[in-house]
Amino acid sequence: MPDRPDFEPSTLVIHSNRSYEKQSNSILFPIHQTATYIHESVGVTKGYGYSRGANPTVNALEQAIAAIEGTEHALCFRSGMSAIHTLCMAILKAGDHVILSDVIYGGTMRLFKQVLGNFGIEYTYVDTSSIPAVEAQLRPNTRLIFIETPANPTLKLSPVQALAELAHSRENILLAVDNTFMTPLLQDCLALGADVSMLSTTKYIDGHNATIGGSLATHDEALVERLYLVRKTIGSIQTPFDAWLALQGVKTLPMRLAAHCENAGQVARWLEAHPRVAKVNYPGLDSFPQKALAQQQQKAFGGMLSFELDASTKDSLRFMDALRLCTCAESLGSVETLATNPATASHCDLTTEERTALGISDRLIRLSVGIESPKDLIADFEQAFAATLGGDA
């Protein structure tokens, strides 16, 4: 097959892994649902010994993700949180310090506060949209800058290239990016200089709410070996069936992303123009304060947005309950439009004061815009407004 750079994304996601099952020549790579593998002789295998270490179906997904990440090295995990945990276990020890984006997924906050902190790993939340703010918080024991951009759920951006340059100007500091909202097809973090690109493959990679999974990609071969060792030791590898399902999902990723981005832009503009909407957070809007940065480091503006109504928290939640087409559910990146209230879901562990300081009000609504007709989505918002807030009044 040609070198991967010769492929456009729509070809790459389909043909990045041309591995076929030898017995039947099945066009779909099969599910290797097995715990162990037969040794050809004592101490001699075909590269697989036990599925806690490696599995052919999982490897097929890893090859597909590595291709879209633009590297040779990707590993898949049981969840996005499992991927982050494995990364931290691979590179950190007691006494090491981590800088985290101040606005970041609540599960990542929970991991550091309730798990890693108990093992002596230090961490500081920093406004990673500001290079001076990050530089001011660097310590001699800082080993990792972990950012999420766009941030969940305010969509605040962090400059990946500038942060990579800052990290690499010091010794032994890595930059890792949670790129779940964008995927490497819309934001190529490794090309921008990040050391590690992390994805919750549950989201846009799968795209159908069928699996739980995560991935880490890097150019660093030594880091890959370390990640592999830790994954094998703690048993955080992706399951074969989930890997097989995600492998089917990734084949339609470019087309789905195009629809997500187009629909999100239409919905964001409609919401911003509505008299009962107080604020919309979407990088594609002229009102978004970091639109220029989005245009610089992203290929498109994504399918995620958040907004606040000109209404009380109670009425905002009533509005969500009145939605009929849009589904009230956690997660994101699927073909269905999903609405969630971060204060009661992803960021419920934070106090009201902590959320308010980060721009996450109790009435904030996060929207993962699906690939339905935007006309139908807007009609659903209109009926929800009419049912709870009197429409345009």
DSSP of 248-269, one letter per residue?
HHHTTHHHHHHHHHHHHHHHHH
Question: pLDDT tens for residues 314-367?
Answer: 999 999 999 999 999 999 999 999 999 998 877 777 778 888 888 889 999 999
Residue 276 annotated as catalytic: no
150 and 67 assigned to the same domain = yes
Which residue type sits at 294?
A: A
Question: pLDDT tens for residues 206-229?
Answer: 999 999 999 999 999 999 999 999
* Last residue in a domain, options 250, 277, 298: 250
Angle value at C-alpha 10, between 332 and 12, nearest 5 degrees: 100
Contacts of 291 (CB under 8 A, 6+ apart): 283, 284, 285
Catalytic hit among 78, 156, 203, 366: 203
Tell whether 393 is covered by a domain.
no
Does residue 135 contact residue 143 with C-beta atoms inside 8 Å? no
Question: How many whole angstroms separate alpha carbon 300 and alpha carbon 295?
Answer: 7
DSSP 36: B
73 and 213 assigned to the same domain = yes
Beta carbons within 10 angstroms of residue 156's beta carbon: 24
Does residue 303 contact residue 257 with C-beta atoms inside 8 Å? yes
Question: How many whole angstroms separate alpha carbon 266 and alpha carbon 114?
Answer: 39
Query: Tens-digit pLDDT profile for the chain (393 aa)?
Result: 334 457 899 999 988 766 656 667 788 888 999 999 998 888 888 889 999 999 999 999 999 999 999 999 999 999 999 999 999 999 999 999 999 999 999 899 999 999 999 999 999 999 999 999 999 999 999 999 999 999 999 999 999 999 999 999 999 999 999 999 999 999 999 999 999 999 999 999 999 999 999 999 999 999 999 999 999 999 999 999 999 999 999 999 999 999 999 999 999 999 999 999 999 999 999 999 999 999 999 999 999 999 999 999 999 999 999 999 999 999 999 999 999 999 887 777 777 888 888 888 999 999 999 999 999 999 999 999 999 988 654
Tell whether 34 is covered by a domain.
yes
Catalytic hit among 4, 37, 48, 52: 52
Does residue 284 contact residue 338 with C-beta atoms inside 8 Å? no
240 and 258 assigned to the same domain = no
* Last residue in a domain, options 225, 250, 275: 250
Tell whether 102 is covered by a domain.
yes
Residue 178 annotated as catalytic: yes
> How many domains does one find in the chain?
2
Catalytic hit among 78, 96, 102, 105: 105
Tell whether 51 is covered by a domain.
yes
CB-neighbour burial class of residue 246 (10 A; exposed 0-12, middle 13-18, buried 19+): buried
Query: Looking at residue 342, which CATH number applies to its domain?
Result: 3.90.1150.10
Tell whether 360 is covered by a domain.
yes
Q: Which domain holds residue 265?
A: 254-388
* Last residue in a domain, options 250, 280, 308: 250
Residue count of the chain: 393
Helix axis angle, 240-250 to 56-69, nearest 10°: 30
320 and 382 assigned to the same domain = yes
Closest CA to 336 of 354, 350, 323: 323
pTM here is: 0.94
Residue 203 annotated as catalytic: yes
Residues 211, 214, 218, 223: is their CA dihedral positive or negative? negative
246 and 258 assigned to the same domain = no
Query: Looking at residue 96, which CATH number applies to its domain?
Result: 3.40.640.10
Tell whether 234 is covered by a domain.
yes
Question: What is the model's pLDDT at position 1?
Answer: 35
Tell whether 169 is covered by a domain.
yes
Bridge-based pairing state of the strands 277-281 and 304-309: antiparallel
Question: What is the model's pLDDT at position 16?
Answer: 75
Catalytic hit among 178, 188, 195, 242: 178
Contacts of 203 (CB under 8 A, 6+ apart): 80, 180, 181, 331, 332, 333, 334
CB-neighbour burial class of residue 261 (10 A; exposed 0-12, middle 13-18, buried 19+): buried
